[in-house]
Amino acid sequence: MPANRAVVYEGPGKVEVHTIDYPTYELKDGPGVNKLNVGRKVPHGAILKTVATNICGSDQHMVRGRTTAPQGLVLGHEITGEVVDVGPGVEFIKPGDVCSVPFNIACGRCRNCKEGKTGICLNVNPDRPGSAYGYVDMGGWVGGQAEYVLVPYADWNLLKFPDRDQAIEKALDLAMLADIFPTGYHGCVSAGVTSGSTVYIAGAGPVGLAAATSAWLLGAAVVIVGDLNEERLAQARSFGCETINVAQGDPVEQIAGILGSDWSAIGEPLVDSAVDAVGFEARGHGADSDVEQPATVLNSLMQLTRAGGAIGIPGLYVTGDPGGVDEAAKVGSLSLRLGLGWAKSHSFVTGQCPVMKYNRNLMMAILHDKVQIAKNVNAVAIGLDEAPQGYQDFDQGAAKKYVLDPHGMVPRRAA
């Protein structure tokens, strides 16, 4: 049985690479594992050799100590892999298949799964609906920033790529299907982006850049991306986005300068759609840009979205934040101008992206060269041992999407 090395959370600001158990078809006790899941049999599972596994901003929240994640948790929910073994209950997935793994763990049997709401499966996490690999309060399924990983309900969860050689050739792009590309796309679909839309995306991290890419794919006329980080804003401009630096002032006024005469009768820019790709660690705007204000993005989006518009919220918000700015924020309670959103008849969509709703079509867009998602998010492949440095650089604002390559299978993208 091969060794299995993995990236492990060792406390705020610290990750290390350790040898962990090779996957089996039974859940074992360990850091973050729900006790009701210990001993759970997984005959419907498959064991994958990891081809690519990405560092996500959601992982970074845990590594910063901004969640209740326990020390020793194996990280990683963005997984692409090659099947090396299947359980006795697997019928269609075969060893040798190269597949994308949706970050949502879903059974395919419950009411929510049957309705396509795979982000809130009822059967995989005893604590609450919804689960993911290597994530706090998600049932304790072992993370995929490892050489090998177990995927339950393999026939249901795995998206098999049609051609193995093509999949390896495009691995850097296809690696984005596990989370950020569908998540950004979901944010735009939730916000009603369509042909001719004007769109504002808060946040130029990987999810925000994936959302901007998705907005173009959906036919937007104008895509504006806001952030505090000039390097990330330059990345957004590299594929045609307008940008604003929210440290330089109110985003409403800056967006008005971009949209020109496209104003409403009450003096607000008519952005049709807005996407929150920041989440609960948001900072203020202008003079307050160095101060954490967790409701800032949501409140600004209600202000700058036209009456009757929609707001997609793929940015992460949590129910437990030990580092929250006040007692309310520590339990996920924010001071929202909900009255403004109500008065403008805004619609809001929150929660995990149901990856399976989008990943097959987005796969086809990648395979047929209709989109260059790896280039747009500046995806960079690094070795597993480079993960601690990757986490550190990402935390410091590097305009890159780090893709861990445990077995040296990912072709490097030309600069």
The per-residue pLDDT for range 70-93, each reduced to its tens digit, is 999 999 999 999 999 999 999 999
Q: Structural domain of residue 129, as residue ranges?
A: 4-179+354-404
Q: Which of 332, 350, 368 is the last residue of a domain?
A: 350
Both 53 and 202 in one domain: the answer is no
The torsion region of residue 33 among left (phi > 0), alpha (psi -120 to 50) and beta comes to beta
Is residue 248 situated within a structural domain? yes
Task: Report pLDDT for 147.
Answer: 98
Question: Cβ distance 413 to 172 under 8 Å?
Answer: yes
What CATH number should be reported for the domain holding residue 54?
3.90.180.10
Both 239 and 321 in one domain: the answer is yes
DSSP state of 141: P
Distances (CA, A) of 357 to 115, 159, 180, 333: 10, 11, 13, 29
pLDDT class of 266 with cuts at 50, 70, 90? low
Question: Cβ distance 294 to 282 under 8 Å?
Answer: yes
How many Cβ atoms from other residues are within 10 Å of residue 120's Cβ? 20
How far apart are the C-alpha atoms of 134 and 77, rounded to whole Å?
6
Structure tokens at 79: 């997984």
Both 28 and 55 in one domain: the answer is yes
Task: Report pLDDT for 268.
Answer: 55
pLDDT in tens, 310-325: 999 999 998 888 888 8
Task: Report pLDDT for 208.
Answer: 98
What CATH number should be reported for the domain holding residue 301?
3.40.50.720
Number of domains in the chain: 2
Residues 212-227: what's their mean pLDDT?
A: 98
DSSP state of 207: H
How far apart are the C-alpha atoms of 132 and 2, rounded to whole Å?
24
Task: Report pLDDT for 361.
Answer: 98
pLDDT in tens, 194-218: 999 999 999 999 999 999 999 999 9
Strand partners, 5: 19
Structure tokens at 319: 């129910």
Both 170 and 217 in one domain: the answer is no
Q: Is the pLDDT at 302 greater than 80, yes or no?
A: yes
Both 288 and 336 in one domain: the answer is yes
Q: pTM for this structure?
A: 0.95
Both 384 and 290 in one domain: the answer is no
Is residue 410 situated within a structural domain? no
Is residue 235 situated within a structural domain? yes
Task: Report pLDDT for 409.
Answer: 96
Cα 26 to its chain centre, rounded Å, is 27
Task: Report pLDDT for 407.
Answer: 97
Structure tokens at 120: 């809130």
pLDDT > 70: percent of the chain: 97
Question: Cβ distance 315 to 279 under 8 Å?
Answer: yes
Residues 155-177: what's their mean pLDDT?
A: 97
Distances (CA, A) of 222 to 197, 234, 305, 317, 383: 7, 16, 14, 27, 37
Beta-strand relationship, 242-245 and 79-86: unpaired
Question: What is the average pLDDT value for the chain, to the nearest integer?
Answer: 94
How far apart are the C-alpha atoms of 248 and 399, rounded to whole Å?
20
Is residue 411 situated within a structural domain? no
Question: Cβ distance 50 to 406 under 8 Å?
Answer: yes
Both 201 and 114 in one domain: the answer is no
Both 117 and 262 in one domain: the answer is no
Both 344 and 201 in one domain: the answer is yes
**CA-based R_g, the chain, Å:** 20
Is residue 413 situated within a structural domain? no
Is residue 414 situated within a structural domain? no
Both 57 and 190 in one domain: the answer is no
Both 220 and 147 in one domain: the answer is no
Both 302 and 231 in one domain: the answer is yes
Is residue 236 situated within a structural domain? yes
Question: CA dihedral defined by 96, 99, 104, 107, rounded to 10 degrees?
Answer: -50
How far apart are the C-alpha atoms of 191 and 396, rounded to whole Å?
29
Alpha helices in 97-205 (DSSP H): 111-114, 154-157, 164-169, 171-174, 180-190
Phi, psi of 133 (to 5 degrees): -75, 135
